[in-house]
Chain A
Amino acid sequence: MLGLWRKIRRTGRVAEAAPPRPDGERPEAARRLGGSVQVRHVDAGSCNGCEVEIGSAFGPVYDAERYGARLVASPRHADALLVTGPVTRNMAEPLRRTFEAVPQPRLVVAVGDCARNCGVFAGAYGVVGPVSEVVRVDVEVAGCPPRPEAIVEALRKLTGR
């Protein structure tokens, strides 16, 4: 316990200084949320590269939580879905149902090249298509995998902070 306390004292703050607020248009529904966005992550068939980056976006260094975004355990608690991966046949219906379970106003963020245009999995036999073919997408994050900064920037567009 003392060792942990010494480590806390020695490490101090690891969160990087907040970059300037991203400009560019915000989705209409995001304005009604007022600086608090609960996020539910849906893996629609991803290779888990994007998951690692989402994990570090919410980790101590990038600390997406300071902008008012928080990961939650249930789509009922969520305001936004963070969808990764090309939508596979098995995940198309669960994704649609998860989207329906989110109370209005709701938003969808497509994270990674696979979610935007199927990336390297385009044309594969198990893939239905990009996320936008299954549910309406509000914000897209490019990259394979996207850098945590890009994910945080997309989340800040939703929270407006």
Chain B
Amino acid sequence: MQALLVVAVAPLLVGLMRQIRARLEGRAGAGVAQPWRDLRKLLRKERIAPRGTSEVFRAAPLVLVATTLVVAVVAPFVTTASAIDPVADLFAVVALLALGTVALALAGLDTGTAFGGMGASREMTIIALVEPTMLVAIVALSVRAGSTNLATIVSSTLHDPARLVSPASLLAAAALVVVIVAETGRLPVDNPSTHLELSMVHEAMVLEYAGPDLALIELASAMRLTVFLGLLANLFLPWGIATTATPLALLLGVLALLVKIALLGAVLAAGEVFLAKLRLFRVPELLAGSFVLALLAVAASFFLA
């Protein structure tokens, strides 16, 4: 059920963010439902695979969607009382999300085009800096919960909200925000609406996809954005999440999740209007900075606790 919610909401979130950007730029905007129209049309289109591509190219969209779906099922978005609780481990979730990115990078290499390989190498550079930061930042939170299980972390924060204003938590939040912006390919690391191949990161890997495969990739990247924002929201603002499986608590959990994700998306979209893309060689500096923040968060959670 949580997965269905994420699938349904993800394109609307992208639509909402585009709409907010359009309004701030003085445009009218295409409407919040436009990403769903795009997906519907792409699913009806012809499937084209370039000459010389292998199974890697065909399997990558499926792997990307599947890994994101698994995360959407297990992570504590609506409720902490999930049926497959042990899977919602911090390391498992981060590894699943990384697996999707690696599959897409391999597909980018598989096309054999210059831009595909360039995008793949850039994405690998970014992910090599992003993954450790993400792990370390969430570990800082898990130290006091005494478990790397995401649901346990969320419910222990729920019982002790004073923790959220501790230095460890604030530093980890700052590190995670930078990392999520980099990982989902938003400004200032990557521009999702660029047309200039030389400046692309995520887009360069998917240049050769068409029709239903492209629909899967667009859906998956929208879902990843939703998943990351949902994780950020529930790790640092866990209020409203259902701790029991009663219908009323679940309904409240869904509403709270939607409000939190929409708010975070709106802030991200509004922030993007004020930012220019960073030069690629400056991106590692930004990400190394966020890694230092995450490391300080871990140190603070041990020494200041």
Contacts and interface: CB of A to CB of B under 8 A. Distances in A.
Given A38-B38, A68-B34, A60 B207 contact: no
A104 B13 CA distance: 28
Interface residues of B, number: 34
B37 A103 contact: no
A32 B30 contact: no
A73 B210 CA distance: 12
Contacts, number: 90
Contacts of A68: 30, 34, 37
B40 A34 contact: yes
Contacts of B31: 66
A35 B39 CA distance: 11
Interface of A is mostly: loop
Interface in A76-134: 76-77, 79, 101, 103-105
A32 B37 CA distance: 12
A103 B47 contact: yes
Contacts of A4: 273-274
B29 A66 contact: yes
A60 B23 CA distance: 10
Interface stretch (A6-14, A43-51, A137-145): A6-14
Given A73-B195, A76-B48, A12 B29 contact: no
B26 A11 contact: yes
A104 B214 contact: no
A121 B23 CA distance: 41
Given A35-B37, A36-B40, A73-B197, A103 B26 contact: no
A36 B18 CA distance: 15
Interface of B: 22-31, 34, 37-38, 40-41, 44-48, 194-197, 200, 203, 207-211, 214, 273-274
Interface of A: 1, 4-5, 8, 11-15, 18, 32-36, 38, 60, 63, 65-68, 70-74, 76-77, 79, 101, 103-105
